[in-house]
């Protein structure tokens, strides 16, 4: 049994902490939302009144926050005295699972290293479903030995654990992967619509491309055409899954990362434009399409 | 043993006919190039002086030609009397393996049907290597029973045999698949360069994306980054494989097919623009990049 | 007074022929539509029963047809004996004002030259409004002296008469101009929406860009934001003007011309994709946005 | 005679300050570079040892700095006591001419307002040539009366003075204008190459488009095709003018502004990708194409 601090109990952090709890670990949890905290204490977690209280005595610390500014504030804010990194034991691994800019991850990791603390950036993919099922993919930046040390806990929450490289590399791997995912999802939707408009059955075409050089993850497990595949968002009105708004956030991170490193990403930029157009034009009633699953980009082509 | 007519013995048709020959079938071959014809007769094929002579008495007819105008001319030209379709026995399956516009394929199939002839459009993917190894993928349009009748011959030349739908559907499936392939190859190259420019090892990033939601055929068997994968064009100076010029031809077919059916293909159009820019800017010495393998799009990003 | 044959009396050809008539010329007109023909004879034109009848005795021949296949058919079809070019006097200038592929224009001009006939391709811009007002722009390919000879008639129908180069050059100039126009209209709409979303008044921003390095024809006389400029389609619900469907046709000609000459047109291709998305997503009620003026691309951004 | 403080004497600020000086105003100048400072004092300016010293007693303050972080640091840094805004007299107009994010401009203007100071954001276009010739365009955000008060000084340094709206509006107008400029420059280069590849003379085509619906500022005064227009960068090896790297910076500001306001900019994003590809592929010898004039995008198409 490990004593774990878990900070940030939202849609992702909540079920991740719960899986650690159910695997028999002790979880000291903190979240600004009392409701989120209450859900976890009801399952046996100990509520901490502050992040500082949560990390006290912890053997491993996890955080899962919405954006880079929250991560910076959590670990680096010293406006009221010591910052959180100062309060942590030097032997305690600190694992931030938030999806943030690699630059920010490196900045926080560097501040940790300057204090002799050991930190990993470990963003995940797999969505809320993966968090609940314990089947997330972790893409991790930081020291390889530290990854091995924390691996047993990663494997409770996820199915794949990748060490991508030094500090920040987890964030880089995730932004690259998700940019490619956006490109492929849009490309797949485009190819399916082209085929169907020319008389093909979407299931037949999906099957052919999946087994040919057009094959990709989307065609394997996440087909965007309604009815082709059971149990995916496309077959339930694009509800659930990975929201368009979250994909737009990930694409923004990738494009900022590209600009910051003087790289050019024409396909990723166009994918972002198409998702943004979809969000706008996909409005039905009062809501825009931002809350639909990202495979709903099919609608932009097929309306 | 089946008596087969094979018309068009180029880089693709030559090895395809050879595989039929080696499997014990009788091949009556025709090509405008005497050299191409000689290569095949040296292996046991019978040379025909004209296409009309080749099809006489054939139990199955295959053609493999460069472009739609050649297919139209072969089957429909009646400027000197009967067209080839008139000379064929009504029971003989006619299989055109050329990659051409679906519209042209439907036109020829329709002319065949009007004469009581039975025709399939059966474009392939897999390139010269697949033609030689007998591991092509056939995407077939036409009558399902006719596909089953010819299947034993397809399976000599290829590994995957897909029935895509009615006449023209083979061409539609291929243009959709290859457009998606071009999008994914460009997207993969873009993601790899973004990751490497941000400090990742291309092999590590490839491995992570391959097993995550960014996974695709390219990452599985055709990695565009030099040295990541053995035996692929990227690891031998982008020689061999599937040429940029051929991908440009396939993208032109897809975009024309999209325009003809009032569909929009922003990702496919951008992929075409990127391949065309690569062809131009990738010039070294006198030659442009058109004759390199299509995974050399990596160079556009990584120069 | 010149005796003019005018073939094709549609939305464009009708008012063009009428302007010649009103300027005192004798017009022998032909159109497949009796209604179109009747409108012109009511104004004093002589109706011809066939194209061949119209050109008999003509001193100049004009044609204005929807697409390349109609032009080929009009001038080259010899299925019932002589083609129209054979019937024309060698001294009579033949002027085709249709917007068609440069390749087709060159083919017809070449057939004319082979018969000793003298032909110009003279596509116009300015739309139905320009045709009615006699303010069209003519972009002309063919012999410079021939252009001068016909100039008095061009100047009745239009305000600007440009000699672009040899046969086909008129079509090339028009496809280049209209591709650039589509790019600029989309770019202008994009910039206006970006500014307005960030608090600027569209009229103020339009004025600034018009007088700065962002200035273009669109900002000068055809502002796409409703209410900024009086008398333009944007200020009357995008009715009238130059339809989205016609811009899509012109972009298709430009992209085919680019592909045929191995050129890359990323901006033009994206403009086409955006117009096609607009056509689809701009649907209200039963109709799509294809019949709106092309400045309605503003809606794709501003919805 | 007005007593002016001028902070930032780089390629733009130096000649701007010089023009004020030559018009008879007293300039108290500051720059971190002693060399830049010396060039101006040689012409009669008074050198200040710090920014704080420069603004003392000033009747108007101008600043011209490379990026937002410099502007924030100049006006807001209070790490060593009062920030610069605290030291300025409440009646003194503060005019920042730097090109920075509208968000940053608003933040600084808001800090100024909180202290009762009056501030304008007044980015310019026109480049080094315009700064030297006193023909810049000012796009100004802030109070209209304040603009009028400073106008006589603006008119010494520039030819056009636009009031775009409230604080930040100058930056918004500039990012919109320059994004549109990038789109039009790329589009014009694309159209010219398409025309020339199809046999047109670049000067003839330029002339036709300039006077037709494709007309834009680029065709009027800044033609990208070498030799078409005298005295422009294209006719002197793309030296001088407005560098590709600066256009990339402006496009980055526009795309960040678009993302921050949830707008989609497909044309602007593609223009950025093309400029970034040009910078990479345009390398000759050791240098990339970033230091060439932005009209050199013609090379990406025409190589």
Q: Is B252 on the interface with D (CB under 8 A)?
A: no
**D107 catalytic, yes or no?**
no
The CA distance from D239 to D120, in Å, is 33
**According to the 3-state scheme, what is the secondary structure of chain C?**
CCEEEEECCCCCHHHHHHHHHHCCCEEEEECCCHHHHHHHHCCCCEECCCHHHHHCCCCEEEECCCCHHHHHHHHHCCCCCCCHHHHCCCCCEEEECCCCCHHHHHHHHHHHHHCCCEEEECCEECHHHHHHHCCEEEEEECCHHHHHHHHHHHHHHEEEEEEEECCCHHHHHHHHHHHHHHHHHHHHHHHHHHHHHCCCCHHHHHHHHHCCCCCEHHHHHCCCCCCCCCCCHHHHCCCCCCEHHHHHHHHHHHHHHHHHCCCCCHHHHHHHHHHHHHHHHCCECCECHHHCEHHHHHHHHHC
Taking the CA of residue C254 and the nearest CA in chain D, the distance in Å comes to: 9
Q: Is B263 on the interface with A (CB under 8 A)?
A: yes
The CA distance from C160 to D208, in Å, is 9
pLDDT tens per residue across span C195-236: 999 999 999 999 999 999 999 999 999 999 999 999 999 999
**Mean pLDDT value across residues B65-81:** 93
**Mean pLDDT value across residues D103-113:** 97
pLDDT tens per residue across span A51-61: 999 999 999 99
Asked whether the predicted pLDDT for residue B57 surpasses 90, the reply is: yes
% chain A with pLDDT above 90: 91
CB contact under 8 Å between D172 and C267, yes or no, is no
List the single residue in D with minimal CA-CA distance to A276.
Answer: D264
Which residues from D are below 8 Å from B270, CB to CB? 270
Interface test with D, best of A69, A248, A273, A283 (most D CBs within 10 A): A273
CB contact under 8 Å between A300 and C283, yes or no, is no
Q: Is D259 on the interface with A (CB under 8 A)?
A: yes
Which residues from D are below 8 Å from B303, CB to CB? 280-281, 283
Q: Is D192 on the interface with C (CB under 8 A)?
A: yes
pLDDT of residue D283: 61
- CB nearest to C264's CB, from B256, B259, B277: B277
pLDDT of residue A281: 84
- CB nearest to C208's CB, from D173, D190, D215: D173
pLDDT of residue C143: 97
**Mean pLDDT value across residues C107-136:** 94
Q: In terms of C-beta density within 10 A (0-12 exposed, 13-18 middle, 19 or more buried), how is residue B42 classed? A: exposed
Q: Is A262 on the interface with D (CB under 8 A)?
A: yes
**Mean pLDDT value across residues D177-192:** 98
Which residues from C are below 8 Å from D177, CB to CB? 191, 208-209, 212-214
Q: In terms of C-beta density within 10 A (0-12 exposed, 13-18 middle, 19 or more buried), how is residue D287 classed? A: exposed
pLDDT mean across residues, chain C:
95
pLDDT of residue A282: 78
pLDDT of residue A286: 52
| pLDDT band for position D33 (cuts 50, 70, 90) | very high
pLDDT tens per residue across span A239-280: 988 999 999 999 999 999 999 999 999 999 999 999 999 998
Q: Is C281 on the interface with B (CB under 8 A)?
A: no
* DSSP H helices in chain D: 13-22, 34-41, 51-55, 68-76, 84-87, 102-114, 127-133, 144-157, 169-197, 202-210, 217-221, 244-260, 266-281, 298-302
Q: Is A280 on the interface with C (CB under 8 A)?
A: yes
Catalytic residue among D46, D107, D174, D280: D174
Which residues from C are below 8 Å from D222, CB to CB? 213
**Do B251 and B182 form a contact (C-beta atoms < 8 A)?**
yes
| pLDDT band for position B127 (cuts 50, 70, 90) | confident
Taking the CA of residue D232 and the nearest CA in chain C, the distance in Å comes to: 14
- CB nearest to A300's CB, from C266, C277, C283: C277
The CA distance from A203 to A193, in Å, is 12
Give the pairing type, strands C124-125 and C136-141.
Answer: antiparallel
Q: Is C109 on the interface with D (CB under 8 A)?
A: no
List the single residue in B with minimal CA-CA distance to A204.
Answer: B164
Radius of gyration of chain D, Cα coordinates, nearest whole angstrom: 20
Q: Is D303 on the interface with C (CB under 8 A)?
A: no
pLDDT of residue B283: 61
List the single residue in B with minimal CA-CA distance to C281.
Answer: B264
pLDDT of residue D126: 87
pLDDT mean across residues, chain D:
95
**Mean pLDDT value across residues D269-285:** 87
List the single residue in A with minimal CA-CA distance to B191.
Answer: A176
pLDDT of residue A303: 80
List the single residue in A with minimal CA-CA distance to D271.
Answer: A266
By annotation, the residues of A acting in catalysis are: 174
List the single residue in B with minimal CA-CA distance to C253.
Answer: B259
| pLDDT band for position A79 (cuts 50, 70, 90) | confident
- CB nearest to D190's CB, from C194, C198, C267: C267
Which residues from A are below 8 Å from D247, CB to CB? none
Q: Is B278 on the interface with C (CB under 8 A)?
A: no
Asked whether the predicted pLDDT for residue D40 surpasses 60, the reply is: yes
By annotation, the residues of C acting in catalysis are: 174
Taking the CA of residue B252 and the nearest CA in chain C, the distance in Å comes to: 7
| pLDDT band for position A82 (cuts 50, 70, 90) | confident
pLDDT of residue B280: 87
**Mean pLDDT value across residues D120-147:** 95
The CA distance from B239 to B128, in Å, is 13
Asked whether the predicted pLDDT for residue B211 surpasses 60, the reply is: yes
Interface test with B, best of D277, D284, D301 (most B CBs within 10 A): D277
Which residues from C are below 8 Å from A270, CB to CB? 270
Asked whether the predicted pLDDT for residue D286 surpasses 80, the reply is: no
Q: Report the neighbours of D using a cutoff of 3 or more CB pairs below 8 angstroms.
A: A, B, C
Taking the CA of residue A278 and the nearest CA in chain C, the distance in Å comes to: 9
Interface test with B, best of A173, A242, A264, A297 (most B CBs within 10 A): A173
What's this model's pTM, rounded to 2 decimal places? Answer: 0.93
pLDDT of residue D129: 87
Q: Is A280 on the interface with D (CB under 8 A)?
A: yes
Interface test with D, best of C103, C197, C208 (most D CBs within 10 A): C208
Asked whether the predicted pLDDT for residue A161 surpasses 90, the reply is: yes
Q: Report the neighbours of C using a cutoff of 3 or more CB pairs below 8 angstroms.
A: A, B, D
Taking the CA of residue C69 and the nearest CA in chain A, the distance in Å comes to: 23
Which residues from B are below 8 Å from A199, CB to CB? 165-166, 168-169, 172
Q: Which of B287, B280, B292, B217 is nearest to B247 (CA)?
A: B292
| pLDDT band for position A288 (cuts 50, 70, 90) | confident
Asked whether the predicted pLDDT for residue D242 surpasses 80, the reply is: yes
CA atoms within 13 A on the CB side of D260: 14
The CA distance from C150 to C201, in Å, is 47
Asked whether the predicted pLDDT for residue B157 surpasses 60, the reply is: yes
The CA distance from A218 to A189, in Å, is 10
Taking the CA of residue B303 and the nearest CA in chain D, the distance in Å comes to: 7
pLDDT of residue C82: 86
Q: Is D277 on the interface with A (CB under 8 A)?
A: yes
- CB nearest to D277's CB, from B266, B277, B283: B277
Q: Is C287 on the interface with A (CB under 8 A)?
A: no
CB contact under 8 Å between D212 and C164, yes or no, is no
Asked whether the predicted pLDDT for residue C283 surpasses 70, the reply is: no
Asked whether the predicted pLDDT for residue B128 surpasses 70, the reply is: yes
CB contact under 8 Å between C273 and B266, yes or no, is yes
Comparing B212-216, C155-159, C238-242, D145-149, the range with the smallest average pLDDT is C238-242
pLDDT of residue D284: 60
- CB nearest to B281's CB, from D266, D270, D303: D303
3-state secondary structure of B160: strand
CB contact under 8 Å between C266 and B255, yes or no, is no
């Amino acid at each position: 049994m490990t004593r774990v601090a878990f900070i940030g109990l939202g849609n992702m952090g909540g079920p991740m902490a719960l899986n650690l709890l159910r695997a028999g670990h002790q979880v000291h949890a903190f979240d600004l939302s009392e409701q989120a905290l209450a859900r976890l204490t009801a399952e046996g977690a100990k509520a901490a009144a502050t992040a500082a209280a949560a990390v006290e005595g912890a053997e491993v610390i996890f955080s899962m926050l919405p954006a880079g500014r929250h991560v910076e504030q959590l670990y680096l804010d010293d406006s009221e005295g010591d910052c959180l990194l100062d309060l942590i034991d030097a032997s305690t691994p600190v694992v931030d699972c938030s999806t943030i800019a690699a630059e920010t991850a490196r900045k926080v990791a560097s501040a940790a290293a300057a204090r002799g603390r050991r930190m990993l950036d470990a963003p995940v993919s797999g969505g809320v479903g993966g968090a609940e099922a314990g089947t997330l993919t972790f893409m991790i930046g930081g020291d390889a030995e530290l990854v091995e040390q924390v691996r047993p806990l990663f494997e409770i929450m996820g199915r794949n654990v990748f060490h991508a490289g030094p500090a920040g590399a987890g964030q880089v791997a995730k932004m690259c992967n998700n940019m490619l995912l956006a490109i492929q999802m849009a490309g797949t939707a485009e190819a399916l619509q082209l085929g169907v408009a020319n008389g093909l059955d979407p299931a037949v075409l999906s099957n052919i491309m999946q087994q040919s050089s057009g094959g990709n993850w989307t065609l394997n497990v996440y087909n965007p055409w309604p009815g082709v595949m059971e149990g995916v968002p496309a077959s339930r009105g694009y509800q659930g899954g990975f929201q368009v708004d979250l994909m737009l956030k990930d694409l923004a991170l990738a494009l900022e990362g590209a600009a910051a490193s003087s790289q050019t990403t024409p396909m990723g930029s166009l994918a972002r434009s198409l998702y943004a157009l979809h969000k706008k034009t996909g409005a039905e009633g009062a809501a825009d399409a931002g809350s639909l699953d990202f495979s709903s980009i099919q609608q932009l082509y097929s309306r």
